[in-house]
Structure 1
Amino acid sequence: MSKKILLNLVLSVMLLGGCASQVDVQQEDEVNQYEGDPKDPFESANRVMWDFNWEVLDQYILRPITVAYVTVMPQFARTGLLNAANNLEEPGNMVNNLFQGKVDDGLDSMARFLINTTVGLLGTIDVADKIGISRKRESFGEVLGVWGSDTGPYLMIPAYGPSDPRSLTGDVVDGLYYPMAILDGPTTVLRYAVSILEGRASLIDQESQLDQAIDDYAFVKNAYFQNLEYRVTDGESGNKAIEQDDLDDFAEFESMLDDMEPEDNNE
């Protein structure tokens, strides 16, 4: 199982886990929404792969290794390794930001790489963040989305997790950027291992919410596409949804107040 499935699972919980009071309603919507989903023409095969990834690879391999890693590895070492792994992505973040016309974000990404690689001891210390230069992560898959490319069909890949043709293409291109393209085998393995373990560790405390889903496959798929849209629109899709919910709540509240007003009795 790779970094991809972990990040998507974590984001699934983060995006949908905050609505605990509406869990039952949302779960019913998930099941109904994705019956005959045109974005999931390979649903039968995808479900088999999901069960394999989650119930076999994760349960018997990844989760036990993650628990051991979190137990043995000191927090400062975990943070340093994750910072170094993330730092290797900064040149790609720079290019992908520039492809979208985000010049300032692209320059921030390059500044982060230069500062953290040097002053931050090969990226193990996120000095740039401490001085106010935050990470502006962008993938080439997001670039394609901004350029108008559709995701294509939903794919659940063995030992890789939720994906789609657009994201797969983006992952390939991201791997061609410096310094990814010149990393040796052991360094590449270490980078992926750290990202995978930290991603899975972030999910441990949230597992119960995924377990409560009536259809965990639909739960993850729903969150996966919401996350793609959220990232491509830089959060605008999520903000619109929140604004609409707020408007609906306000309308309901206003209606309740109207019902409470005393009637005028003019005789």
Structure 2
Amino acid sequence: MDMPLPFVRRTPLLSLCTVLSLGAMAACTPAPPGGGVNDPYETTNREVHSFNKSLDRAVLRPLGQVAAEAPREVTGPVANFADNIGLPGMVLNGVLQGDVGGAGTNTMRFLLNTTIGVGGLFDPAGGIGLHEETTDFGETLAVWGADEGAYIELPVFGPSTERDAAGRIVDLVLDPLSRVGTQPQLDYGAVTRGAAIVINRGRFMQTMDGVLYESADSYLQSRSAYLQNRRFDLGEAPSGAEAGIDPFALDLEGFE
């Protein structure tokens, strides 16, 4: 009974990751058959969606309009840098998923862009065909067999599922770059990530405006877009389903 305790002390992050993962796999309820929607928290989700929509209208959308008009020489390096600092976490998730090829591609991309690309401000790796293999711990949980669980909308972060929300927590805990560098460097990384979100909001202005402000029910529209796109990306979409456009996906791959 006493043997595991020293091991836990030596590897607190691994232990926390294991606990959170097991909790997520136990808590997530099976998805409805045939690609249906499991939304038992719809009343609360709609309240959160209303808050997120107000936040977008007051902050993100106006800033996104400014970013959309800024020259690519300014916004491109910011987006590239934000993309680059997220790669170590994707490498780790690739390893946990057994995706050796994806982990190797992201490792080479990080090394090239960090060195030749001046700390990630530029994307020489993309120029030679090394494109980001996007992944996260939500996908790792899916590979490990965790069910999608109920749909939930998170404050600020937007649409998610129980599995993806648990994965987001683990990604934050395991982020290697949150534990290295000086405090000003860490703060700069956080600010850059926020700026990249604003840039992406401007990049997809028309699509997101269509979902949030031009649809009959923006909650149902954003829920459908998220679930359809996420299931397609994870290979869980029903046979014959097409990938939807996720207006909340902040993937900066290919942004130059």
Q: TM-score, normalised by structure 1?
A: 0.69
Per-residue CA deviation, residues 24-49 of structure 1 (Å, 9 max, x unaligned), is xxxxxxxxx9xxx8611111111121
**What is the SS of the residue equivalent to 2:176?**
coil
Matches of 1:230 and 1:93, distance apart in 2:
19
The residue number in structure 2 matching 1:60 is 58
**What is the SS of the residue equivalent to 2:237?**
helix
Letter in 1 for 2:178: M
The 1:237–1:156 alpha-carbon spacing in structure 2 relative to 1, beyond 3 Å, is closer
The answer (yes or no) to whether the contact 1:143–1:232 under 8 Å persists in 2 is no
The residue number in structure 2 matching 1:24 is none
The residue number in structure 1 matching 2:38 is 39
Structure 2 unmatched runs, 5+: 1-31, 243-256
The residue number in structure 2 matching 1:94 is 91
Q: CA deviation at 1:65?
A: 1.9
Identical-pair percentage: 31
The answer (yes or no) to whether the contact 1:49–1:158 under 8 Å persists in 2 is yes
1:159 maps to which of 152, 156, 169: 156
The 1:85–1:238 alpha-carbon spacing in structure 2 relative to 1, beyond 3 Å, is farther
Matches of 1:132 and 1:239, distance apart in 2:
30
The residue number in structure 2 matching 1:16 is none
The 1:207–1:134 alpha-carbon spacing in structure 2 relative to 1, beyond 3 Å, is closer
The answer (yes or no) to whether the contact 1:89–1:180 under 8 Å persists in 2 is no
The answer (yes or no) to whether the contact 2:85–2:189 under 8 Å persists in 1 is no
Matches of 1:208 and 1:188, distance apart in 2:
28
Letter in 2 for 1:166: R
The residue number in structure 2 matching 1:196 is 197
Matches of 1:74 and 1:81, distance apart in 2:
12
1:178 maps to which of 176, 179, 196: 176
The answer (yes or no) to whether the contact 1:152–1:164 under 8 Å persists in 2 is yes
The 1:51–1:225 alpha-carbon spacing in structure 2 relative to 1, beyond 3 Å, is same
Structure 1 segments, 4+ long, off by >4 Å, are none
Matches of 1:94 and 1:219, distance apart in 2:
32
Letter in 2 for 1:101: G
The 1:110–1:238 alpha-carbon spacing in structure 2 relative to 1, beyond 3 Å, is farther
The residue number in structure 2 matching 1:48 is 47
Matches of 1:148 and 1:50, distance apart in 2:
29
The 1:138–1:76 alpha-carbon spacing in structure 2 relative to 1, beyond 3 Å, is same
Matches of 1:154 and 1:42, distance apart in 2:
8
The 1:76–1:38 alpha-carbon spacing in structure 2 relative to 1, beyond 3 Å, is closer
Per-residue CA deviation, residues 171-196 of structure 1 (Å, 9 max, x unaligned), is 22222222234363522431321221
| Larger RCO: 1 or 2 (CA < 8 Å, sep 6+) | 1
The answer (yes or no) to whether the contact 2:82–2:192 under 8 Å persists in 1 is yes
The answer (yes or no) to whether the contact 1:142–1:231 under 8 Å persists in 2 is no
Letter in 1 for 2:82: A
**What is the SS of the residue equivalent to 1:241?**
coil
Matches of 1:87 and 1:128, distance apart in 2:
11
The residue number in structure 2 matching 1:74 is 71
Letter in 2 for 1:42: Y
The answer (yes or no) to whether the contact 2:77–2:122 under 8 Å persists in 1 is yes
**What is the SS of the residue equivalent to 2:159?**
strand
Rg comparison, structure with higher value: 1
Q: TM-score, normalised by structure 2?
A: 0.72
Per-residue CA deviation, residues 1-45 of structure 1 (Å, 9 max, x unaligned), is xxxxxxxxxxxxxxxxxxxxxxxxxxxxxxxx9xxx861111111
The RMSD of aligned alpha carbons is 2.3
The 1:104–1:159 alpha-carbon spacing in structure 2 relative to 1, beyond 3 Å, is closer
